[in-house]
Amino acid sequence: MASRDAATSLTAQATAARAAGNNDEANAHDRRADAERARMHALLGELATLETELAELERVRRTIQDAPRAAPRPSASTSSAQDVPRARPAPSVDDALHEMKRKAATGGPAPGPAPKQSARPQKPVSTVDDELAALKRKMASAPPKKK
């Protein structure tokens, strides 16, 4: 309202200045009046945006209010929570790395839960030296290359 009143007053001053023959002063008052009108329109646009957002917030509040509430979760002290079997937590990366190092150092699996036995017979565990020796034997028995 203040911007509108200021714009109206400045327009009246510009009209009076023109009537007195002072065009420079009239033009200055017109520019200030236009600036006040622009300010008024910017404030009205912001007010419209805020009203729209307020209406949206009210709509969401009503929607949430009308939604059915979820049943409260049973606390840890109730017997039903204690009856549920829980899965074993996954090992951390550090634990898995420590386990792999222990296997490599001992040459076999680390103590812990035994792995499930498969129906197929397992190959013996070979080391790098075993694989190198097998490769040398294979290359020695291969026929010579043609030149």
Can you read off the two tokens belonging to residue 62? 């009503």
Q: Give which of 10, 5, 37, 8 is closest to 26, Cα–Cα.
A: 10
Q: How many domains are there within the chain?
A: 1
CA distance 85 to 143: 63
pTM of the model: 0.40
116 within some domain: no
pLDDT, residue 67, reads 75
71 within some domain: no
42 within some domain: yes
- For residue 113, the one-letter residue type is P
Lookup result for tokens 């009308």? 66
16 within some domain: yes
pLDDT, residue 13, reads 93
pLDDT, residue 77, reads 55
Q: Give which of 61, 80, 83 is closest to 71, Cα–Cα.
A: 80
- For residue 26, the one-letter residue type is A
pLDDT, residue 109, reads 55
End-to-end C-alpha distance for the chain, whole angstroms: 103
pLDDT, residue 103, reads 85
Domain that holds residue 47: 2-66
CA distance 140 to 131: 14
Contact call for residues 2 and 40 (beta carbons, < 8 A): no
CA dihedral defined by 40, 41, 47, 50, rounded to 10 degrees? Answer: -140
Contact call for residues 99 and 110 (beta carbons, < 8 A): yes
89 within some domain: no
pLDDT, residue 44, reads 92
What are the 10-residue block averages of pLDDT along the chain, 147 residues in total?
A: 89 93 92 92 92 92 81 58 65 80 73 56 73 86 73
pLDDT, residue 20, reads 92
99 within some domain: no
